[in-house]
Amino acid sequence: MVKFIGRMNEDIGDIVLARAPKNTKYTSPTIQKEILHIIANRVRGKIREEVGDAKFCILVDEAKDSANKEEMSIILRFVDHLGVLRERFFEIVHVPNTSAATLKEKISTILSRYNLHNSNMRGQGYDGASNMSGSWNGLQALFLKECPYAYYIHCFAHRLQLTLVGASTKETSVYLFFSKLLAIVNLIGCSPKWHTELHSAQAIKIANMVTLGERDTGRGINQIGNLHRSGSTRRSSHFGSICSLIDMYGAIISVLESIVE
């Protein structure tokens, strides 16, 4: 980005990157994160201006990132001064746990930081997990105690996913396939010994295929992956689980035969 801007403007191009003073190149990870943080705050400030004095709803979900940390995303839904319905991604924040009290504290802190009061909340959209939808101690119940107009709606995307999963269990062949797939993932994943054996068998298979020219080489192409467990609320996770099974099929068979012996 710096290189591109330098090309577009000679005045900038003369003072950035190789031509910049050694202590002000602005390319270190620390400085880049600081710049991104400043930009993010500016964006959130603009969204706050867009909300104005309007009532708003929140859409919240949490998931683990690649570092196995729990992250919570917050989206604001509101009607702007032109009467147009808007949805704006507002914040993603790390949470130490997914208890309702912790999530509420984090959400309230972020909203209050931008002068968005819980009393102006008119809706909550979450999945159906007990920590979110619980009638007594769930996140939606905690916000309802502060604002009785913040009605909770079970996320329709999650409801559709649960419906698809429920419907698929009525098709015997589909149900048996995914049941066996889950059993294989659990069986191999429960033992560090079998997990290591799976990786070793997969490494040998990849090396043989590369030698025979049956597999392309390149950065990140032949990394040894893991079997993925499917989740009932994310249909795409079933596809990912099948793909990992296909890619590691030979290694899986080798490990299963070893277990049988």
Q: What is d(CA 260, CA 248) in angstroms, rounded to the nearest whole number? A: 18
CA atoms within 13 A on the CB side of 122: 8
Verdict on whether the full-model pTM lies above 0.85: no
Q: Is pLDDT of 115 > 80? A: yes
Three-class SS of residue 211? Answer: helix
* Mean pLDDT, residues 97-101 taken together: 93
At 166-215, the pLDDT tens digits run 888 889 998 999 899 999 999 988 888 888 999 998 888 888 888 888 77
Residue closest to 93 by CA, chosen among 115, 75, 116, 119: 75
Domain 52-154 part of CATH 3.30.70: no
Domain boundaries, the chain: 1-51, 52-154, 162-260
Q: Judging by beta carbons within 10 Å of its beta carbon (0-12, 13-18, 19+), is residue 261 exposed, middle or buried?
A: exposed
Upper half-sphere CA count for residue 123 (Cβ side, 13 Å): 15
User: 87-118: buried (b, 16+ CB within 10 Å) or exposed (e) per residue?
Assistant: ebebbeeebeebebebbbebbbebbeebebeb
